[in-house]
Homo-oligomer: A and B are copies of this chain.
Amino acid sequence: MPGYTKFLEKLIEELSRLPTIGPKSAERMALFLLKGSSTQAKALAEAIINAKENTKKCSLCNHLAEQEYCPICQNQNSREKVLCIVEDPQDVIAIERTGRYKGLYYVLWGRLSPLEGKGPEDLPLEKLLKRVREEKVKEVIIATSSSREGEATAQYLRQCLLPLPVKVTRIARGIPVGSNLGHIDQATMSHAIDGRREVNT
């Protein structure tokens, strides 16, 4: 059966490896690139190579950096001595967007996941503990996700941090803003009730 050319097949195959992209979307994206200008296709190819070659991990917090330190760690003297542990760089960006947090971060680049073969030795914990010890961190906020794996990671981090003289907290779980209570799952609802706070009028 005649199909696409072999270069197009290869492009569809490579695009299909991206997250959330199925074979149909990959086909559509590939044909879009072929229909468009050469300049546009080249711009995308170059952006991939440039991003890959020029992005490092901050040597203090593992967040994305162009130089040795990320922009947040470069300014660490103007920030509070609080360390927020997250799974991924997206999480840093999401927290920064709120403008509410003035502390520092520590990016794990993953979480404990027996299914994916990720154990404690795959998380950069030594550097974390060293930083907490040496930089007189006042508080560590565990902000791993609230999935089962994120919770297991949080539990493990809590145990590692316990021997250190530092306050350890976990971000609050509860009803997301704008949600209808009738649509909330049981686990979230339990957390929302357990974590209730007094309202002082």
- Shortest distance from the beta carbon of A195 to any chain B beta carbon, whole Å: 28
Q: In the complex, what distance in Å separates the CA atom of A25 from the CA atom of B30? A: 16
Which residues of B have CB within 8 Å of A193?
none
**Are A54 and B7 in contact, with the CB atoms below 8 A?**
yes
Q: In the complex, what distance in Å separates the CA atom of A198 from the CA atom of B35? A: 42
Given contacts A48-B41, A48-B45, contact A64 B96 (CB under 8 A): no
Which residues of B have CB within 8 Å of A11?
47-48, 50-51
- Residue from B4, B8, B55, B72 within 8 A of A8 (CB atoms): B55
Which residues of B have CB within 8 Å of A55?
5, 7-8, 34
Number of residues on chain A facing chain B (CB within 8 A): 59
**Which A1-40 residues have a C-beta within 8 angstroms of B?**
1-8, 10-11, 13-15, 17-21, 25, 27-35, 38, 40
Beta-carbon nearest neighbor of A13 in chain B: B47
**Are B32 and A14 in contact, with the CB atoms below 8 A?**
no
15 contacts between A and B (CB under 8 A): A1-B97, A2-B72, A5-B51, A7-B47, A8-B55, A11-B48, A14-B47, A15-B44, A17-B44, A31-B88, A33-B51, A35-B109, A41-B49, A45-B46, A45-B49
**Which A72-119 residues have a C-beta within 8 angstroms of B?**
72, 75, 88-90, 93, 96-97, 99, 109
Q: In the complex, what distance in Å separates the CA atom of A28 from the CA atom of B1? A: 35
Q: Closest 4 A-B residue pairs measured CB to CB?
A: A11-B51, A2-B71, A45-B45, A14-B47
Beta-carbon nearest neighbor of A9 in chain B: B51
Which residues of B have CB within 8 Å of A17?
40, 44
